[in-house]
Amino acid sequence: MDVKTELLPKVMEAAVFAAVKHQYLRRGGYDQLPYINHLLKITNELITIGGERDEALLIAAVLHDVLEDTDTNFQELSSLFGQEVASIVNELTDDMSLPHKVRKELQVTTAAKLSRKAQIIRLADKASNIRDIFTYPLNWPLEKKIAYVDNAEAVANEISGENPKIDAWLRETILWARGIIKNS
C-alpha cells in the first residue's frame, strides 16, 4: 500500500479518537460488534477499493458518525482535526431527532448538496452497510433490508461520479444484495 507516510499517523489519531468516543457503542443487531469496526472498514475500503489518499477524506471517513452517535461537537472536531474534516463529518451527520424514514428520505434529497468528499464517503458507507446487512447475523426483516438497498440505490443515483471505483463497488454490491433478496 502506498499511503503517504505522514498520512498514517493522522488517520490513526482519528481512529483512536473514534474508538474512544464509540467505546461503549455496538452495532445494533450485529451480535454486538464494536462500532469502531464499521468505521475502520469504511476507511480501509476507501483506501483499498477506492484508491483514496486524501487526508481530509480518510480522516472524515473514520470519524463520519462521531457527531451523530457521541457527545462530540463540531467545535471539538474542528479544533482536533481541522475545519474541513469537521465540515465533511457534519455534512454526513443525520439529525437523530427525526424519524428513521425521514432521515433516509433526506439522505436522498440532500445527496447532491454534499461536498465531493462527503459524497464518496456516503457511497462507501452505503456499500459497506449493505455488505454487512447481508453477511452478518442480523435480526432485520427482509423488508427492512430491501428498504436499505433501495435507499442506497436512490442515493447513488443522485451522487455517483466522484470516485468511479467506489461507484462500481456500490453498484456491484447492490446487484449482489438483490440476488440474495431474489433467492430469499
List the catalytic residue out of 68, 105, 132, 150: 68
C-alpha cell at 90: 457534519
Q: Is residue 74 part of a domain?
A: yes
Q: Is residue 52 part of a domain?
A: yes
Q: Which domain holds residue 46?
A: 7-182
Instruction: Report d(CA 134, CA 14) in Å as an integer.
Output: 28
Residues in the chain, how many?
184
pLDDT of 35 > 90? The answer is: no
Q: Is residue 96 part of a domain?
A: yes
Q: Which of 136, 125, 141, 109 is nearest to 173 (CA)?
A: 125
Residue 150 exposed, middle or buried by CB count within 10 Å (0-12, 13-18, 19+): middle
Active site residue 71: no
Q: Is residue 87 part of a domain?
A: yes
pLDDT tens-digit readout, 53-79: 999 999 999 999 999 999 999 999 999
What residue has cell string 432521515? 103
Active site residue 69: yes
Q: Is residue 38 part of a domain?
A: yes
List the catalytic residue out of 13, 69, 105, 150: 69
Contact 51, 2 (CB under 8 A): no
Q: How many structural domains does the chain have?
A: 1
CATH number of the structural domain spanning residue 149: 1.10.3210.10
Q: What percent of the chain has pLDDT over 90?
A: 82
Q: Is residue 2 part of a domain?
A: no
SS3 52: coil
Contact 47, 11 (CB under 8 A): no
pLDDT of 182 > 70? The answer is: yes
Q: Is residue 1 part of a domain?
A: no
Instruction: Report d(CA 29, CA 138) in Å as an integer.
Output: 5
Q: Is residue 11 part of a domain?
A: yes
- Please give the model's pTM, rounded to 2 decimal places: 0.94
Residue 13 exposed, middle or buried by CB count within 10 Å (0-12, 13-18, 19+): middle
What's the mean pLDDT in 114-131? 97
